[in-house]
A and B are shown apart, each in its own frame.
Chain A
Amino acid sequence: MSMEKIVCDKADLIENSGVCALVQDEQIAIFYLPGTGNEVFAISNWDPIGQANVLSRGIVGDLQGEIVVASPLYKQHFSLTTGKCLEDESASVKIYPVSLINDKVVIQ
């Protein structure tokens, strides 16, 4: 998917938590962590282990310096920067380059 698309407003985001956006039939989880380098992070909403579209509803935080979201189903952690699962090397999720431009959330 190649695109540069305004997905939503910054006001739609929730501080230190996630929301989900639908972009060309793909469910994208967008997290807003003020105070961290990127501030916004986007990964696929699909939990490959729990087999459901739920990652936007997980708790975010950091483990050993890696910014992660914990799946709300079975609690595995996925890196918000690499998409890798910390507990299971064979599992990972797609990541999307995302930035905040003029209070808009833009996915490249």
Chain B
Amino acid sequence: MKELNVVVVGNGMVGHHFVDQLVLSSIPSIITVIGAETRPAYDRVHLSEVFAGKEPKDLALSTREYYEEKGVRAIFGDAVVDIDRANKCVATQSGRTFSYDKLVLATGSYPFVPPIKGSERKQCLTYRTIDDLGEIKSHAKHSKKGVVVGGGLLGLECANALQNLGLETHVVEFAPGLMGVQLDEGGSQMLRRKIEALGVTVHTQKATTLIDDQSDETALRMHFADDTHLDTDMIVFSAGIRPYDQLARKADLEVGERGGIVIDYHCRTSDSDIFAIGECALYGNMIYGLVAPGYRMAEVAVQQFSDLEEKPSFKGADMSTKLKLLGVDVGSIGDAHGRTAGAITYVFSDEKAETYKRIIVSEDGKRLLGAVLVGDCSDYDTLLQYFLNEIELPASPESMILPNVDGGAPALGAAALPMTATICSCHNVSKGDIFAAIDGGCCSVGDVKGETKAATGCGGCAALLKNVVDDEMEARGLTVDKSICEHFPYTREELYHLVRVGGIRSFDALISEHGKGLGCDICKPTAASIFASAWNDYILESSHVGLQDTNDTFLANMQKDGTYSVVPRIAGGEIKPEQLIAIGQVAQKYKLYTKITGGQRVDLFGARLNQLPDIWKELIDAGLETGHAYGKSVRTVKSCVGSTWCRYGVQDSVGTAIDIENRYKGLRSPHKLKFAVSGCTRECAEAQSKDVGVIATENGWNLYVCGNGGMKPRHADLFATDLDTETLIKYIDRFLMFYIKTADRLQRTSVWMDNLEGGLDYLKEVIIEDSLGIAEELENQMSQTVSTYQCEWKTTISNEEKLKRFRQFVNSKEEDNNVIFVEDRGQIRPASEDEKTKLIAKSA
């Protein structure tokens, strides 16, 4: 096949997806993508998160480097202004021309601003791009009050943003109700009630006729058709979107009556070499204003260039949505308005709990046609699957939405879903794809997520994904036996519970009450870790000694030759010169290899077992303490220099890092824990790669959780924003204890999060909203641990009995003759086998 010259106009979400899919395909092509915005594609769907503390860069879907690496010519900040169909080339604003074999229009849409006099004033804004965000933020700085024109989905999201920016927020809607497209009247009323309770004022049936500046107090005055008015400092228009189809019109491509580039089921426009995808395309007289249908179009369009006999086609897409608006759960499925002939409606409304649920059922009562949910979306997944897969409803369909009185709604078993059922619509993952991933060796929700990307978009499908995976694992008899080992038929979480509730403090008691046999190197360290988390006893207590991994037994990390490393704690990376000198002197005296670690401290290598107590005695005398480098416990809290010295710093990151490290040092957990604190958003401490990351803001601290470097890096999730120090610590206390309580052995917070049912939202509910009612208990457990901290090395060197353990031989003062060092770059290192043989030969 000859290389196709493909030009893509627009580098939004869909344009990028198209390029990405084409690059990944085996279709030989030369790709040029031309975007009007100055930056590569970003995630518009999560734009609002920037108001909640995310950085614009966190939204990036692509980078210039990525395109370069893939050989894609990418042009930003230059709009295409002309298509010359006869000569098959396009021209940009700056005058560049590009010829094409195939042209793909992915120009998206723009916010509609109704033709109202005064709407061109500088305080009148729109909300679609990252640049718009900047405008809204900077106007909000000088405003007290803000109005959003439009009470649809985007309008309400924008209202949420204005509220987050601290403005008195109003929503002005022309229609009688909010979210008229997705909700029926009842749902819309319930939504209004809930939103007003959150402090947003809603004005419906208001047609704005004029915006002027006659008001004294505020910048603007909006006049309405009913002769009323509303004063405000700024206005954001969110009154619908219009497809960017000017280019197509100019080139005489067919466009719809109300806009949109007409395409067929192969995403082809009226010119067979030109395609249109995403929000600029009109398919079956409909604009699909959601990203998932756009992605499907992009995939279909790519395949038109392949040599497949039968090219896939776009078949329309489901527009059901589930979202949280101003913290209110809203769901809409299918024919939400019950417009289908003969449809039967069931409504359940609970004014006390402020929830509203409506289902629309076919005339024969067998199929679900649509649904509206406000205030409680817990039935959404089940209802959506009934709808999408046309599953037969139970005899009394109302049971689907009635509260759990009599056994409750029949939750839809994953087994009932057909193989084609879409489980994750963001990434188009079907039940069949999930089965294929399991066939391929995945055996946990986390694995399947990694393999298929399911549940990594909006996250809405996480619960359903878990059902499907668990169900199938069980059906295949693959249910990974969750017992930790042959000695205990329990998970780590269950053991933790047994230990806590039973007040069990020794392994003997644990195994005689709940297990069998002698134990092993899996259950013993697990039990030791649980005892330490729960009771915080000295880990070398006689009854605990045999349980510890060698690193914990000798309070040092074993190296490959059987010697150990020594790592004193250097909280936050801050160290006094005297202490640095003391470390140097110890290293010199005991001839230890010395290295600065990746965790902002100093590691001394090559200590023999019998030297450890002496080394530690000297370090402790110099005011140092153990760094727990050997334990599954808190390691380091990395800091950047922060506001004390750095010209950009907005908070004292070093001080906070030290406080955090001192608070949690010694805390034993299922796996090691690393933290970091950065003094501003430049993030020099790399907090977003840590289990707990803290980043200073002008108003306090943003808290990130469950990041990981290491083998499988994971960006931390933004958990809470602008916290004062006290709340920050409170949340970290709860977070850590909840992790310790529920995680599997050797499961780091990142993997734990990926397997946590309900994900980040659930974690926020537990930690911030205290949905399980355990916050106080978690805090108490943490304060018990904090108050019983001891430096294990200090305890050890003052205990003669314990020191006996550090003898190389119980019956001799000799040293291990297999430990042999040579010198390199002026320091020791273990000799290689070859070197050992030579050295021994020489001495003989």
Chain A contacts to B: CB under 8 angstroms: 7-8, 12, 14-17, 19-23, 27, 30, 33, 36, 46, 50-54, 57-65, 67-68, 70, 72-73, 75, 77
Q: Do B810 and A57 have beta carbons less than 8 Å apart?
A: no
For A25, give the chain B residue with the smallest CB separation. B817
Q: Is the CB of B811 within 8 A of A21?
A: yes
Contact in complex: A27, B549 (CB < 8 Å): no
Give per-residue flags for B785-829: 1 if the beta carbon is below 8 A from chain A beta carbons, else 0: 000000000000000000011011111101010100000000000
Q: How many Å from the CB of A81 to the closest CB on chain B?
A: 13
Further 12 A-B residue pairs, CB within 8 A, beyond A16-B546, A51-B560, A65-B517: A20-B808, A20-B809, A22-B812, A27-B809, A30-B810, A36-B518, A57-B554, A59-B524, A60-B518, A62-B519, A62-B520, A70-B521
**Contacts A53-B562, A53-B816 hold; do A70 and B545 have CB atoms under 8 A apart?**
no
Of the candidates B518, B524, B553, B805, the one having the most CB atoms from chain A within 10 angstroms of its own CB is B518
> Which B residues lie within 8 Å of A46 (CB)?
818
Partner of A67 from the list B518, B521, B561, B805 (CB cut-off 8 Å) is B518
Q: Contacts A17-B546, A63-B486: A22 and B811 contacting too (C-beta < 8 A)? A: yes
Instruction: Decide: B550 and A64 in contact? CB cutoff 8 A.
Output: no
B79 CB-CB contact with A under 8 Å = no
B558 within 8 A of A: yes
- The verdict on B547 contacting chain A, using a C-beta distance below 8 Å, is yes
Residues of B contacting A: mostly = loop
C-alpha gap A10/B521 in the complex (Å): 24
CA distance A30 to B551 in the complex (A): 19
> Please, which residues of chain A bring their CB within 8 A of the CB of B814?
22
Is the CB–CB distance between A53 and B518 below 8 Å? no
Interface residue total, chain B, C-beta cutoff 8 A: 36
Q: Contacts of B807 on A, CB cut-off 8 Å?
A: 19
Interface membership of B542, Cβ < 8 A:
yes
Cβ-defined contact, A54 with B562, below 8 A = yes
Nearest CB of A to B564, in Å? 10
> Whole-angstrom distance from the CB of A29 to the nearest CB of chain B?
11
Tell me if B833 is interfacial: C-beta within 8 Å of chain A: yes
**A16-B546, A73-B560 known; A51-B833 Cβ under 8 A:** yes
Let me know if A60 and B560 touch, CB within 8 A: no
Contact between chains at A53 and B546 (CB < 8 Å)? no
Are B809 and A72 in contact, with the CB atoms below 8 A?
Answer: no
A59 pairs with B525, CB closer than 8 A? yes
Chain B residues, CB < 8 A from A14:
545-546, 805
Cα–Cα, bound, A46→B523 (Å) = 25
**B781 → chain A closest CB, angstroms:** 27
Bound CA–CA A15/B551 (angstroms): 18
Using a Cβ cutoff of 8 Å, how many contacts connect chains A and B?
Answer: 99
Whether the pair B542, A15 counts as a contact (CB closer than 8 A) is yes
A21-B810, A22-B809, A72-B550 given; A64·B486 CB < 8 A? yes
Cβ of B524 to closest chain A Cβ, rounded Å: 6
Is there contact, CB below 8 Å, between B518 and A7? no
Task: Assess whether A20 is in contact with B810, with CB atoms less than 8 Å apart.
Answer: yes
A63 in contact with B520 (CB, 8 Å): yes
B248–chain A nearest beta-carbon distance, Å: 64
**Neighbouring A residues of B549 by C-beta, 8 Å:** 59, 72
16 A–B pairs (Cβ distance < 8 Å), ordered by A? A12-B811, A20-B808, A20-B810, A22-B814, A51-B833, A53-B562, A57-B554, A59-B520, A61-B518, A61-B519, A62-B518, A62-B520, A65-B517, A67-B518, A73-B562, A75-B521
- When chains A and B are docked, how far (Å) is the Cα of A7 from the Cα of B811? 7
Contact present for A53 and B818 (CB under 8 Å): yes
Chain A minimum-CB-distance residue to B805: A14
Write the chain A residue with the least CB distance to B816: A53
Q: Are B560 and A59 in contact (CB under 8 A)?
A: no
Are B816 and A27 interface neighbours, CB within 8 A? yes
Looking at the assembled complex, report how far the CB atom of A9 sits from the nearest CB atom of chain B, in whole angstroms.
8
Q: What chain A residues lie within 8 Å of B545 (beta carbons)? A: 14-17
Contact status A57-B558, CB under 8 Å: yes
The answer to whether A54 and B521 touch across the interface, beta carbons within 8 angstroms, is no
Q: How far is the CA of A63 from the CA of B524 in the complex (A)?
A: 13
For residue A68, which residues in chain B have a CB less than 8 angstroms away from its CB?
Answer: 520
| Docked complex Cα distance between A36 and B816 (Å) | 30
A15–B525 alpha-carbon span in the complex (Å)? 16
Chain B 422-451 residues near chain A, CB threshold 8 A: none
User: How close is B516's CB to chain A, nearest CB, in angstroms?
Assistant: 10
Across the interface, which residues of A come within 8 angstroms of B560, CB to CB?
Answer: 50-52, 73
